[in-house]
């Protein structure tokens, strides 16, 4: 997803050792939900059954089960067309720079069941890159085979395989950055954060084996490899964002989920380790993400829903090179650690009116050579979103199509290690402060 702000500051450092220093500005993508009307038609369910705000992406426990069941649940009334369309318009008002109104995105979803055991989700997105020029990308893919209603040690079990292109997107809890589309804005984020530069999202392919045991215990183990750069290009992605050549990549997830019907809690661990050559002809670096997440939902009778989620992912890096800095004697550290954290709270009234508040922090080990100019990659931001989704409930005008109107304020406290002059402009040159990256965005989305 490349939004206005994302594109505005997307830049790749010319010096390789700055690869981790400056990369991409925030990924304000939380409004492009994954509520797919094709699923509503397939199951007879309303959008609101799977998504607290009736438009996603945040899932209810029922939505999580639908996902784990491989998108195969049905109302049993014949085959439905497994396709849906979403159109987004935005008005972006940045704190600094020109405001814009545009038809920002049009998506086609191929989503639904093939059989009781096979189902999937494929999103093809057409993004407005400015001046009404559109770029088509293959976005998230999640194809599943699932064996349901198994018995293991006299307990219910489910085992499945997910073929996907975004580590964490297939997660049922829907708290990990890839699933929420709400990773912390960062200049040096973790592999599991799609907002990071040279992200794995949509540029890799992989498979994972997952299982749900006794309704509460979820485990997943998988591996990924990066797509050839030519294929990334064919799928609509710039080669400059190549995640590099990956090897020995392992993704693991373990979570405890408990659905009390009126409340839901989960606690999980996630890990991703890989060796990466970036650029592909260069030496190999070692990256390991380890994270945990906790979530809580109060659902009650669904009139007042509260969803809370906290995610903390740490990445340990053993860099491939230790370049020298601009001053003699300065040399980059051979190892480093970065942290991505997000705390999100959502309240939804009558499954229609909602507010979401997020606090996101990305921090890292001080390294004066890698993180120019201050040696700190630290970025801290907040977002406040107010939304209205009039349809998609059992008692609304339509249960299988929806409209979402939202406004979002995005506020930066710190970017690239500083609140002021974040890019270290020399005296007399125009400065960019963290607050200059703030933005107010109005979204209008329809899905049918």
Partner 1 sequence: MSQRFLEHGLRGSAIAGLLIGWMLASPMVRAGDASAGADVFKSECAECHSPKQGKNKKGPSLFDIVGRPAGTAPNYKYTDALTQGKWTWTTDKLHWYLSQPARKANPGTRMKYDGLDDPKQLDDLITYLGTLH
139 scored as a contact of partner 1 (CB under 8 A): no
Contact pick of 13, 44, 323, 375 for partner 1 (by CB under 8 A): 44
Decide if 360 contacts 382 (C-beta within 8 A): yes
Tell me the window of 70-78, 185-193, 226-234, 418-426 that interacts with partner 1 (CB under 8 A). 70-78
Tell me the window of 72-80, 191-199, 249-257, 323-331 that interacts with partner 1 (CB under 8 A). 72-80
Residue numbers 304-323 binding partner 1 by CB under 8 A: none
Residues that contact partner 1, how many (by CB under 8 A): 19
Tell me the window of 51-59, 300-308, 337-345, 380-388 that interacts with partner 1 (CB under 8 A). 300-308
Tell me the window of 11-19, 69-77, 249-257, 439-447 that interacts with partner 1 (CB under 8 A). 69-77
Contact pick of 3, 31, 45, 274 for partner 1 (by CB under 8 A): 45
**CA distance readout (Å), 34 to 52, 101, 321:** 12, 23, 40
Contact pick of 3, 31, 32, 60 for partner 1 (by CB under 8 A): 60
Tell me the window of 18-26, 185-193, 280-288, 299-307 that interacts with partner 1 (CB under 8 A). 299-307
- Of 37, 26, 23, 19, residue with least CA distance to 3: 26
Per-residue tokens: 98:
């020109």
Neighbours of 296 (CB within 10 A): 15
151 scored as a contact of partner 1 (CB under 8 A): no
Three-class SS state of 375: coil
Per-residue tokens: 172:
């049922």
Question: 388-427 mask for partner 1 (x: CB under 8 A)?
Answer: ------x---------------------------------
Three-class SS state of 15: coil
Per-residue tokens: 221:
């183990």
Q: Minimum distance between the CB of residue 52 and partner 1, rounded to whole angstroms?
A: 12
Q: Minimum distance between the CB of residue 302 and partner 1, rounded to whole angstroms?
A: 5
The DSSP letter of residue 241 is G
49 scored as a contact of partner 1 (CB under 8 A): yes
Which residues in 215-229 are b (16+ Cβ under 10 Å) and which e? Answer: eeebebebbbebbeb
Element (H, E) at 40: helix 37-43
Strand partners, 244: none
Contact pick of 14, 301, 426, 429 for partner 1 (by CB under 8 A): 301
74 scored as a contact of partner 1 (CB under 8 A): yes
Q: Show Cβ contacts of residue 361 under 8 Å, excluding neighbours closer than 6 positions.
A: 184, 339, 340, 341, 342, 378, 379, 380, 381
262 scored as a contact of partner 1 (CB under 8 A): yes
Tell me the window of 22-30, 40-48, 216-224, 317-325 that interacts with partner 1 (CB under 8 A). 40-48
Q: What are phi and psi of 54, to 5 degrees?
A: 65, 5
Residues at the contact surface with partner 1, assessed by CB under 8 A: 43-45, 49, 60, 62, 73-77, 261-262, 299-303, 394
């Amino acid at each position: 997803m490349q939004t206005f702000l994302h594109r505005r500051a997307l830049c790749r450092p010319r010096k390789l050792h700055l690869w981790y220093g400056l990369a991409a500005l925030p990924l304000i993508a939380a409004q492009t939900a994954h509520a797919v009307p094709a699923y509503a038609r397939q199951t007879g369910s309303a959008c609101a059954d799977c998504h607290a705000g009736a438009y996603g992406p945040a899932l209810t426990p029922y939505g999580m089960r639908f996902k784990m069941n491989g998108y195969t649940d049905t109302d049993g009334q014949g085959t439905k067309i497994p396709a849906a369309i979403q159109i987004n318009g935005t008005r972006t008002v940045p704190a600094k720079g020109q405001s814009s109104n545009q038809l920002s995105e049009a998506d086609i979803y191929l989503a639904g069941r093939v059989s009781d055991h096979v189902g999937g989700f494929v999103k093809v997105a057409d993004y407005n890159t400015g001046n009404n020029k559109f770029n088509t990308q293959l976005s998230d893919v999640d194809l599943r085979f699932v064996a349901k209603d198994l018995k293991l040690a006299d307990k219910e079990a489910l085992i499945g395989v997910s073929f996907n292109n975004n580590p964490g997107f297939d997660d049922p809890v829907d708290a990990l950055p890839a699933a929420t589309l709400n990773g912390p804005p960062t200049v040096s984020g973790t592999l599991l954060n799609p907002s990071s530069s040279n992200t794995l999202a949509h540029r890799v392919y992989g498979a994972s084996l997952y299982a749900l045991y006794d309704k509460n215990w979820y485990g997943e183990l998988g591996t990924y490899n990066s797509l050839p750069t030519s294929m990334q290009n064919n799928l609509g992605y710039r080669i400059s964002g190549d995640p590099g050549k990956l090897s020995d990549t392992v993704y693991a997830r373990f979570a405890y989920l408990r659905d009390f019907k009126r409340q839901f809690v989960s606690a999980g661990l996630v890990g991703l380790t890989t060796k990466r050559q970036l650029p592909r002809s260069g030496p190999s670096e070692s990256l390991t993400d380890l994270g945990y997440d906790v979530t809580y939902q109060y659902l009650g009778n669904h009139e007042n829903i509260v969803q809370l989620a906290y995610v903390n992912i740490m990445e340990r890096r053993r860099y491939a090179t230790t370049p020298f800095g601009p001053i003699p004697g300065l040399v980059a550290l051979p190892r480093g650690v970065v942290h991505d954290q997000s705390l999100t709270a959502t309240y939804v009234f009558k499954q229609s009116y909602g507010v979401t508040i997020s606090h996101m922090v990305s921090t890292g080990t001080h390294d004066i050579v890698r993180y120019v100019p201050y040696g700190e990659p630290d970025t801290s931001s907040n977002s406040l979103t107010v939304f209205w989704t009039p349809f998609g409930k059992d008692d609304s005008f339509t249960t299988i199509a929806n409209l979402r109107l939202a406004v979002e304020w995005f506020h930066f406290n710190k970017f690239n290690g500083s609140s002021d002059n974040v890019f270290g402009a020399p005296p007399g040159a125009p400065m960019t402060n963290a607050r200059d990256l703030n933005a107010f965005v109005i979204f209008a989305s329809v899905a049918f």
